[in-house]
A and B are shown apart, each in its own frame.
Chain A
Amino acid sequence: MSLEQFKNRNVGTQNYVKLDLDHTPTSGWCQFKQVVKRTFKPELFVGLWVTLREMINALFRGKMHTTQYPFEKLPISPRYRAIHDMLRLLESGHYRCIGCGLCEKICIANCITMETRYDENQRKEVSEYTINFGRCIFCGYCAEVCPELAIVHGQRYETASEQRASFSLFEDMLTPIDQLNLQQEYQGFGAVSPNADENIKKTPLAY
């Protein structure tokens, strides 16, 4: 599903029919004519036909409108902001997070907690990372500020659970290593724009 489909806010068919309203009757004769016209106009049967047509459409032409929700789900926009995902580098499989702490700093709900340390190669390593989803307002600032596109918003919107902890640990949000080939780039807030390559310029070093 492409983004454009979600950007179109004009949901209807746009085939509006303007009502052709008659003038209010002025004399008794006009009123009588209106009553006769309304009496013998087959408008009631138009209503009957419309409902019957919809029934035929639903039953025999596969136009049933119901989505049987727990069994089938509607596609949601790739920009939807649900439970976070932690992405991995496609080449090495290592998590992308560099432990810079920007998401923790920018989080306006103060729900991100992270602890980092230097590993044996003197690289930053994330030793503790949790998001308190009782506080998170899903504003998307963390995904926007992340320089590595490491923390993004995912598509898991069914967040009813017995324990907050079933979502909020780093390992739970991290892409499973065996599903690395299925990892999707996030299209939303903070993502690289589609024409990013054209916008790359050499860093001006004239000064």
Chain B
Amino acid sequence: METATMLPEVTAAGVIIKAVLILAVIAAIAGFGTYIERKVLAFMQRRLGPQHVGPFGLLQLAADGIKLFTKEDIIPQHANKIIFAVAPVITAATAFIALAAVPVFPDFTIPLLDIYVPSIASDVNVGILFVLGMMAAGLYGPLLAGMAQANKWGIIGSARTAIQFLSYEVVTGLSILAPIMMVGSLSFVDFNNYQADGTWIVVYQPVAFVLFLIAGYAETNRTPFDLLEHEAEIVSGYVTEYSGMRWGLFFIGEYANMITIGVIASIVFLGGYNDFWIFPGWLMIIAKIAFSFFFMLWVRAAWPHIRPDQLMWLCWKVLMPLAVVNVVITGIVMMIVG
């Protein structure tokens, strides 16, 4: 929070308001995301999706919330009770902490109170590093959850968490390294300003963009790499023994992470919140994040799961070498051009 004072007019009140805003809005969007996901998947399979609770099934979200809150909170007999209880909190908390260093909404000033609310809760100058590190720390949620619940499916789920998250952390880091080299900064604001002339980084770094998306899907546990809780193989993986709101916390965390990946992809590769043609910046960033979210659902409807061994093959034999080659070529080109 000290670093937030780098911008002169940011006050503690503004940062707190921003933090509450992020928590409230992202938690609501994360819940709303489950509704969107069910609707979009249903439409892509020519079904109707939820539609009986409220207009167009919009209140399904409330019904699910009531169900999750009132469900019995079961802790298995042989589980490690403390770790079992803490694990979902780790997932949700790391997901929201990662959002602290991400510019989510445009900055604005509350009119009467004259409080400036910044676009980033905390503009740390190593923003990307902080976000990636926080998302990597999120791996402890599924890992501890699976190991604490005394269930073989949970153990398999947590083992898969370890290999999948750790492996794809490498690809995320290496793929995003090339844009970092180009911009020469780890701050999201610098990334945004770098693309202010209208040329998106994805034009220079298409390979890095694709690699980052693939790795991002693996780290948010989205469908082509949805191996942590793959129902067809390992009942529910690391959430097998969870019920009620503890289970719900995992999903709020997962959806918050999906939004974070969307934000990073939008800012680092897709031009950030710069104005585009006649569209203002805030609309552009929301449109980009929304499309990124939609693309995750689209991919889930279109593509099948892959096996764990294929996942490892893809990571270490294809994506990691590609990312390294991309970094090397970027370096050489930068040396020649710049």
> Are A50 and B302 within 8 A (Cβ)?
yes
Task: Pick out which of these stretches binds chain B: A55-63, A161-169, A180-188.
Answer: A55-63
Q: Which of B43, B47, B48, B299 meets A48, CB within 8 Å?
A: B299
Task: Mark B280-313 against chain A: 1 for CB-CB distance below 8 A, else 0.
Answer: 0000000000000000001101110000000000
Q: Is A109 an interface residue (CB 8 A)?
A: no
Give Cα A54–Cα B40 distance, bound, in whole angstroms. Answer: 11
Specify which of B40, B44, B47 lies most central, judged by the most chain A CB atoms within 10 Å of its CB: B44
Task: Mark A58-99 against chain B: 1 for CB-CB distance below 8 A, else 0.
Answer: 110001111010000000000000000000000000000000
> Are A64 and B299 within 8 A (Cβ)?
no
Closest to A66 in B: B48
> Are B44 and A65 within 8 A (Cβ)?
no
> Are B46 and A44 within 8 A (Cβ)?
no
Number of contacts between A and B (CB, 8 Å)? 40
Closest to A53 in B: B44
Closest to A58 in B: B46
Residues facing A in B23-47 (CB within 8 A) are: 40, 43-47
A58: B residues at CB distance < 8 A? 43-44, 46-47
Q: Is A3 an interface residue (CB 8 A)?
A: no
Closest to B318 in A: A39
Shortest beta-carbon distance from A44 to chain B in Å = 7
Q: Is A12 an interface residue (CB 8 A)?
A: no
Shortest beta-carbon distance from A62 to chain B in Å = 11
Please tell me the size bucket of the interface on A.
10 to 19
> Are B48 and A54 within 8 A (Cβ)?
no
Give Cα A98–Cα B45 distance, bound, in whole angstroms. Answer: 54
> Are A48 and B298 within 8 A (Cβ)?
yes
Given A58-B43, A59-B43, the answer on whether A51 and B302 have CB atoms closer than 8 Å is: yes
Specify which of A51, A58, A64 lies most central, judged by the most chain B CB atoms within 10 Å of its CB: A51
Closest to B304 in A: A47
Residues facing A in B11-66 (CB within 8 A) are: 40, 43-48
Closest to B40 in A: A55
> Are B46 and A48 within 8 A (Cβ)?
no
> Are A57 and B302 within 8 A (Cβ)?
no
Closest to A47 in B: B302
> Are A65 and B302 within 8 A (Cβ)?
no
Q: Is A177 an interface residue (CB 8 A)?
A: no
Q: Which of A44, A55, A68 meets B44, CB within 8 Å?
A: A55
Shortest beta-carbon distance from B37 to chain A in Å = 13
Residues facing A in B104-125 (CB within 8 A) are: none
B302: A residues at CB distance < 8 A? 44, 47-48, 50-51
Give Cα A52–Cα B303 distance, bound, in whole angstroms. Answer: 12
Give Cα A146–Cα B43 distance, bound, in whole angstroms. Answer: 49
> Are B47 and A55 within 8 A (Cβ)?
no
Shortest beta-carbon distance from A64 to chain B in Å = 6
> Are B47 and A66 within 8 A (Cβ)?
yes
Task: Mark A38-50 against chain B: 1 for CB-CB distance below 8 A, else 0.
Answer: 0000001001101
Closest to B47 in A: A66
B45: A residues at CB distance < 8 A? 54, 65
> Are A65 and B301 within 8 A (Cβ)?
no
Task: Mark A2-41 against chain B: 1 for CB-CB distance below 8 A, else 0.
Answer: 0000000000000000000000000000000000000000
Q: Which of A55, A57, A64 meets B48, CB within 8 Å?
A: A64
> Are A51 and B47 within 8 A (Cβ)?
no
> Are B303 and A65 within 8 A (Cβ)?
no
> Are B298 and A52 within 8 A (Cβ)?
yes
Give Cα A51–Cα B45 distance, bound, in whole angstroms. Answer: 7
> Are B46 and A47 within 8 A (Cβ)?
no
Give Cα A84–Cα B303 distance, bound, in whole angstroms. Answer: 48
Shortest beta-carbon distance from B4 to chain A in Å = 41
Give Cα A68–Cα B48 distance, bound, in whole angstroms. Answer: 9
> Are B298 and A51 within 8 A (Cβ)?
yes
Give Cα A65–Cα B44 distance, bound, in whole angstroms. Answer: 11
Closest to A56 in B: B43
Give Cα A51–Cα B301 distance, bound, in whole angstroms. Answer: 7
> Are A54 and B46 within 8 A (Cβ)?
yes
Give Cα A52–Cα B46 distance, bound, in whole angstroms. Answer: 10
> Are A54 and B303 within 8 A (Cβ)?
no
Shortest beta-carbon distance from A14 to chain B in Å = 21
> Are A65 and B298 within 8 A (Cβ)?
no
Given A47-B302, A47-B303, the answer on whether A52 and B44 have CB atoms closer than 8 Å is: yes
Closest to B51 in A: A68
A48: B residues at CB distance < 8 A? 298-299, 302-303
Residues facing A in B79-116 (CB within 8 A) are: none
Closest to A57 in B: B46
Give Cα A51–Cα B43 distance, bound, in whole angstroms. Answer: 9
Closest to A39 in B: B318
B40: A residues at CB distance < 8 A? 55
Give Cα A48–Cα B47 distance, bound, in whole angstroms. Answer: 17
Q: Could you pull out 8 A-B pairs where Cβ atoms are within 8 angstroms? A: A48-B298, A51-B44, A52-B298, A55-B40, A57-B46, A65-B45, A65-B47, A66-B48
A58-B46, A64-B48 given; 6 more Cβ-contact pairs under 8 Å: A44-B302, A48-B299, A50-B302, A55-B46, A66-B46, A66-B48
